[in-house]
């Protein structure tokens, strides 16, 4: 199993596609499918705005990516998975805005 991968737009799209499946696969099965480590998957999800708060009801605390909407960030124009209908800024841009405001 490889521990690193070049996160091209195609690889990010593939990861996003896997996360949108119902039921959402667990990280070890995603890592096995993409033939990389669980850590690489977690890092990519964080860096590319594919993270979400875990849902507390109905799915055992797992994130339900199937109910998320793909949008383009209003700041950087990169696609990301919006958790709610009012999310229009991806996590990396949101973090950067918060750091500038502090």
Calculate mean pLDDT across residues 1-19: 80
Pick 61 or 95 by higher pLDDT: 95
- Specify the range with the lowest mean pLDDT, choosing from 29-38, 39-48, 64-73: 64-73
Calculate mean pLDDT across residues 32-52: 82
Q: In this structure, what are the phi and psi dihedrals at residue 72, rounded to the nearest 5 degrees? A: -100, 135
19 token code pair = 């996360």
Q: In this structure, what are the phi and psi dihedrals at residue 81, rounded to the nearest 5 degrees? A: -95, 115
Q: In this structure, what are the phi and psi dihedrals at residue 79, rounded to the nearest 5 degrees? A: -70, 145
Asked whether residue 53 carries a pLDDT value surpassing 50, the answer given is no
Q: Where are the domains of the chain?
A: 9-101
Band of residue 81 on the pLDDT scale cut at 50, 70, 90? confident
């Amino acid at each position: 199993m490889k521990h690193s991968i070049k996160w091209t737009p195609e690889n990010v799209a593939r990861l996003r596609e896997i996360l949108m499946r119902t039921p959402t696969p667990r990280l070890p099965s995603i890592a096995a499918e993409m033939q990389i480590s669980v850590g690489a998957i977690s890092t990519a999800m964080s860096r590319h705005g594919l993270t979400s708060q875990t849902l507390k009801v109905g799915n055992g605390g797992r994130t339900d990516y199937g109910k998320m909407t793909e949008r383009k960030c209003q700041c950087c124009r990169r696609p990301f998975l919006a958790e709610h209908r009012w999310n229009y800024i991806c996590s990396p841009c949101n973090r950067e805005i918060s750091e500038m405001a502090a």
